[in-house]
Amino acid sequence: MRHFLTLADLSTEEILYLLELARDLRSEWRLGGNRPLLAGKCLAMIFQKPSLRTRVSFERAMHHLGGLAMYLSPQEIRLGERESVADVARVLSRYVDAIMARVFAHAHIEELAANATVPVINGLSDKFHPCQALADFFTIWDRFGALRGINLAYVGDGNNVAHSLLIGAAKLGVNIAVATPPGYEPAPDVVALARASAQATGATVQLLHSPQEAVRGANVVYTDVWASMGQEAEAEERRKVFAPYQVNQALVSLAKPDAIVMHCLPAHRGEEITDEVIDGPQSAVYDQAENRLHAQKALLVWLCAQCR
């Protein structure tokens, strides 16, 4: 049985298969058709953090595929408080065909997977956001018709999104440059994992402190919020530290003329990205958001092929 806790769980070939399946499922949906590939299947969705895209995209994905999604709120579950993470995994495994969880601590995702007898999907944790990255690489592939050799610049905090982009880029042959303020770099173990994968694909992995250097000649300019959920107490200090890392038109102009701009949302407009850029002609932000739906449909079909 397979889980999806990080893109490191998948081979390059498996990621490419999911992207192709996502494209096919999106094409069918746009033509007005949905295949009931998961008829009779049920997905449990555990949320410790609030969500717009994760909840709606997974619910609609299961609906498109003929299945059912059950939303379990933070108050209902209180994962690891009301009862143990292990017991939640064991009980839900008797009721549903797969579990998606959006949590604070990555350790909770790992514990769910260790005790579940159905596939577990990481809908977001403090270390990784693999569903987002899967949709991101689908969007890049969709725009450029290729992944290998594409130059991706990530500007901002070395957070869970940066971690997933690093691993995915390395596995897919995408050259990635991550520009952060000193002290906000991605985790060393994630960087080491990405560099190990990059050796097989020929991708380059750069850690920089200059956003201009990262963006120069890029095909994709990507940013995220400077303070994630759970870091609210640091928000004011982070605004000062990250101010030079704003993705604005001056920074984007250093990228290639046909470069696209990406943001996983929600965006703090006027902080990490300007209105001019996010609403501008180079923005792929809303295509990126839509592609969460189709990439996750592909993921669910692939994982639930193992379901009882």
Do strands 98-102 and 68-72 pair parallel, antiparallel, or not at all (unpaired)? Answer: unpaired
Catalytic residue among 108, 143, 292, 294: 292
Residue 3 falls in the annotated catalytic set: no
Are 131 and 155 in contact by the 8 Å Cβ rule? The answer is no
Residue 224 falls in the annotated catalytic set: yes
Closest CA to 170 of 139, 142, 148, 146: 148
Q: Which residues pair with 155 in a beta bridge?
A: 179, 223
Closest CA to 6 of 230, 193, 225: 193
Catalytic residue among 102, 106, 108, 238: 102
Catalytic residue among 264, 282, 288, 294: 264
**N residues, the chain:** 308
Six token digits for residue 272: 């990490």
Residue 199 falls in the annotated catalytic set: no
Catalytic residue among 64, 129, 163, 263: 129
Catalytic residue among 48, 132, 282, 288: 132
Residue 206 falls in the annotated catalytic set: no
Residue 102 falls in the annotated catalytic set: yes
Query: Dihedral of the CA atoms 102, 186, 143, 270 (nearest 10)?
Result: 80
Residue 292 falls in the annotated catalytic set: yes
Six token digits for residue 247: 């993705």
Catalytic residue among 126, 224, 263, 296: 224
Catalytic residues, by residue number, are 102, 129, 132, 224, 264, 292
